[in-house]
A = this chain, B = another copy of it.
Amino acid sequence: MFFLSKNLNVYILGVLKMEYKPNIQDVAKLANVSIATVSRVINNQGGVRKETEERILKAINELGYIRNAAARTMKRKETNTIGVIVPDIKNPFFPLVMAGIEQKAREKQYFTILSSTNESPIVEKEIVKNFIERGVDGVIITTANENGDHLKLLQEQGIPIVAVDRSIKSFEVDTVLVDNVKGAYQAVQHLILQGHEKIAIICGPQTTTPGRDRFLGYKKALENYNIPLDERYVIQGDFGEQSGYLATQKLFALDDKPTAIFSSNNLMTIGCVKALEELNWKLGSEVSFIGFDDVDIATFLNPKLSVVSRPMYALGEIAFQLLHERICFKENLPKRKYLLSPELKIRQSCRLVKTLF
A interface list, Cβ under 8 A from B: 19, 21, 64, 66-71, 73-74, 79, 81, 89-90, 92, 94-96, 98-99, 102, 106, 111-116, 123, 129-130, 132-135, 153, 156-158, 270, 273-274, 277, 295-297, 299-302
Give the docked Cα–Cα distance between A112 and B112 (Å): 10
A95: which of B73, B95, B123 is its contact (CB, 8 Å)? B95
The interface centre, meaning the residue of A69, A74, A99 with most chain B CB atoms within 10 A of its CB, is A69
Please, how many angstroms separate the alpha-carbon atoms of A300 and B272 in the complex?
12
Contact A129 B66 (CB under 8 A): yes
Q: Which residues of B contact A134 (CB under 8 A)?
A: 69-70, 81, 111
Q: Among the listed B99, B133, B135, B153, which residue makes an inter-chain contact with A89, where contact means beta carbons less than 8 Å apart?
A: B99
Do residues A92 and B89 form an inter-chain contact, with CB atoms below 8 A?
Answer: no
Is A96 a contact of B90 with CB atoms below 8 Å? yes
**In the complex the two chains form, what is the Cα distance from A222 to B44 in whole Å?**
59
Closest Cβ of chain B: how far from A291's Cβ, in Å?
13
- Chain B residue nearest to A159 in the complex (CB): B19
Residues in B with CB closer than 8 Å to A21 are 157
Min distance, Cβ A175 to any Cβ of chain B, angstroms: 21
CB-contact partner of A133 in B19, B66, B99, B295, under 8 A: B66
Contact A68/B74 with A19-B157, A89-B98, A95-B95 known, Cβ cut-off 8 Å: yes
Distance, CA A277 to CA B123, complexed state (A): 44
Distance A92 CA – B94 CA, assembled complex (angstroms): 11
- Cα A21 to Cα B129 with chains together (Å): 14
**Contact with A135, one of B69, B92, B273 (Cβ below 8 angstroms):** B69
Report which of B19, B98, B133, B297 forms a contact with A69, defined as CB distance below 8 A: B133
> Chain B residues with Cβ under 8 A from A99's Cβ?
89-90, 116
Residues of B within 8 Å of A132, CB to CB, are 66
Residues of B within 8 A of A92 (CB): 92, 95
Alpha-carbon distance between A270 and B296 when the two chains are bound, in angstroms: 9
Which residues of B lie under 8 Å from residue A66 when comparing CB positions? 129, 132-133, 153, 157
Contact A111 B95 (CB under 8 A): no
- B135→A70 contact, CB < 8 A: yes
Q: A70-B71, A111-B113, A273-B300 are in contact. List 12 more A-B contacts (CB 8 A).
A: A21-B157, A66-B133, A66-B157, A70-B73, A70-B79, A89-B95, A92-B92, A94-B95, A99-B116, A111-B130, A111-B134, A274-B299
Chain B proximity of A335: nearest CB distance (Å)? 17
Shortest CB–CB separation between residue A215 and chain B, in angstroms?
26
How distant is A289 from chain B, measured CB to nearest CB, in Å?
A: 13
The 6 closest A-B pairs by CB, nearest first: A70-B73, A19-B158, A69-B133, A114-B114, A70-B70, A297-B300
